[in-house]
Amino acid sequence: MPLIDLPGFAGDLLADFERRNTLRVDTPVIQPAEPFLDMAGEDLRRRIFMTESETGESLCLRPEFTIPVCLRHIETATGTPQRYAYLGEVFRQRRDGSSEFYQAGIEDLGDPDTAAADARVVGDALFVLSNRLPGERLKVTLGDQSVFEAVIAACGLPGGWQKRLIHAFGDQKQLDRLLAELADPKSPGVFGHDVERVAALGMLDDEERLVAHIGETMEATGYSTNASRSPRDIARRLKEKVELAATRLDKEALAVMRAFLALDLPLADAPAALHSFAGKARLRIDDALELFDARVAALALAGADPGPMRYRAAFGRPLDYYTGLVFEIHVEGTPAVLAGGGRFDRLLTLLGAREHIPAVGFSLWLDRIEQAAGREK
């Protein structure tokens, strides 16, 4: 069970949230499982606690707050911009063996000024942590998925490979494996028996014939065409496998991607380093760099000290819905992440919002903060 003396801790924390002009919100502990299974990422999906309603609907214990807060915002038709604060229990298996702990945070929805909102949310997290841990030196690691996406697009990779690399962003071992596959012309790639069979039948260049063949096969084997993937979905996936397996990066493009992923430097030096990198590699990533520059400037305008902040090009967080800024905060010299978050501009539309709603936010791990405060005493 959590160690936190929650009543006193919660009161102080909620007062800090109120000072940051947020609206306190709560969400049910039992949540529909589908949004987490579809959007949260494999790392979270394999650790959530599933159950089922009397009607057969898949449910789960609340594993995090971002998706529930966004769903509530959509359901209540609350206008934007709107800043929500939350505090409550979440339930998921953690590597330390715990499965129930308290989380708090802020979700900042609807501000069209991306750079300012990004800077504000980093400032919010630092403000709250500094009040809990006075005198501790907090270190901030930042990444930017939008810069990563711009780099791989500028390298000329096909869409299927871009999706695979974006999905692996933040997982250095997986990225290294994918780059090795792109580099090795002898790699078996992603061909499988299904691809080889339809290739032998000469159908890969005729989508309608391939769709018909797959439909006939599904019908003959009793596989429902109303299942999660239609014959056309399967046909397109098979063609994508061929494209993925046939793609190879030349040595120059591969060196560019590896040089980018190796960037790790103080945030204050990052804008110049990124512009220099893009110029030498002849990459057209101006829009992504313009936003990166604006965020660094916004952090300075907000009074955030750039000294404890570091930019790592390969840094990401294990949730699939992030789209831009990602960050984590810890006490210098300790590994425990105390706060983490980022930008998730596509999430509310995917959850059913009728209009695009830009969004950024962060979560606090309250048990880790309490442990850090205990070490300080």
Interval 105-163: pLDDT, tens: 999 999 999 999 999 999 999 999 999 999 899 999 999 999 999 999 998 887 878 88
Q: Mean pLDDT check: name the lowest of 9-18, 99-108, 110-119, 187-196.
A: 187-196
Identify whether the C-beta of residue 300 lies closer than 8 Å to the C-beta of residue 293.
no
Q: How do strand 325-331 and strand 100-109 relate by DSSP bridges?
A: unpaired
Tell me, yes or no, whether 133 and 18 share the same domain.
Answer: yes
Number of domains present in the structure of the chain:
2
Tell me, yes or no, whether 238 and 269 share the same domain.
Answer: no
Q: Is residue 185 part of a domain?
A: no
Q: Is residue 188 part of a domain?
A: no
Q: Is residue 229 part of a domain?
A: yes
Tell me, yes or no, whether 115 and 40 share the same domain.
Answer: yes
Tell me, yes or no, whether 37 and 132 share the same domain.
Answer: yes
Segments of 68-188 assigned E as strands: 82-91, 100-109, 138-144
Tell me, yes or no, whether 237 and 347 share the same domain.
Answer: no
Does residue 190 carry a pLDDT above 50? no
56, HSE (Cβ side, Cα atoms, 13 Å): 0
CA angle at residue 106 from 350 to 372, to 5 degrees?
125
What percentage of the chain carries pLDDT values higher than 70? Answer: 82
Identify the CATH number of the domain in which residue 33 sits: 3.30.930.10
Q: Is residue 55 part of a domain?
A: yes
182, HSE (Cβ side, Cα atoms, 13 Å): 25
- pLDDT, tens digit, for every residue of 122-137? 999 999 999 999 989 9
Tokens (6 digits) for 50? 């599933």
How confident is residue 178, by pLDDT bands cut at 50, 70 and 90? confident
Tokens (6 digits) for 123? 């400032």
Q: How far is CA 107 from the centre of its chain?
A: 14
Tell me, yes or no, whether 16 and 145 share the same domain.
Answer: yes
Can you tell me the distance from the alpha carbon of 122 to that of 138, in angstroms, rounded to the nearest whole number?
12
Average pLDDT over residues 95-106: 87
Tell me, yes or no, whether 296 and 207 share the same domain.
Answer: no
Tell me, yes or no, whether 241 and 270 share the same domain.
Answer: no
Q: Mean pLDDT check: name the lowest of 13-22, 183-192, 258-267, 297-306.
A: 183-192
Tell me, yes or no, whether 126 and 227 share the same domain.
Answer: no
Q: How do strand 82-91 and strand 23-24 relate by DSSP bridges?
A: parallel
Average pLDDT over residues 310-319: 92
Which residues fall within 8 angstroms of residue 65, CB to CB, at 6 or more apart? 27, 86, 88, 90, 103, 105, 107, 363
- Asked which of 213, 246, 279 is the last residue of a domain, the reply is 246
353, HSE (Cβ side, Cα atoms, 13 Å): 25
Question: Can you give the residue range of the structural domain that contains 278?
Answer: 6-150+265-376
Tell me, yes or no, whether 11 and 63 share the same domain.
Answer: yes
Q: Is residue 52 part of a domain?
A: yes
Can you tell me the distance from the alpha carbon of 20 to that of 108, in angstroms, rounded to the nearest whole number?
11
Tell me, yes or no, whether 208 and 129 share the same domain.
Answer: no
Q: Is residue 173 part of a domain?
A: no
How confident is residue 229, by pLDDT bands cut at 50, 70 and 90? low
Burial class (CB in 10 A: 0-12, 13-18, 19+), 96: exposed
Does residue 324 carry a pLDDT above 50? yes
Q: Is residue 168 part of a domain?
A: no
Tokens (6 digits) for 360? 């950024």
pTM over 0.85: no
Can you tell me the distance from the alpha carbon of 249 to that of 185, in angstroms, rounded to the nearest whole number?
9
User: Peptide bond before 81: cis, by omega within 30 degrees of 0?
Assistant: yes
Does residue 188 carry a pLDDT above 60? no
Please give the torsion angle defined by the CA atoms of residues 44, 226, 162 and 154, in that order, rounded to the nearest 10 degrees: -130
Which residues fall within 8 angstroms of residue 159, CB to CB, at 6 or more apart? none
pLDDT at 184: 74
Tell me, yes or no, whether 81 and 31 share the same domain.
Answer: yes
Can you tell me the distance from the alpha carbon of 148 to that of 322, in angstroms, rounded to the nearest whole number?
12
Q: Is residue 316 part of a domain?
A: yes
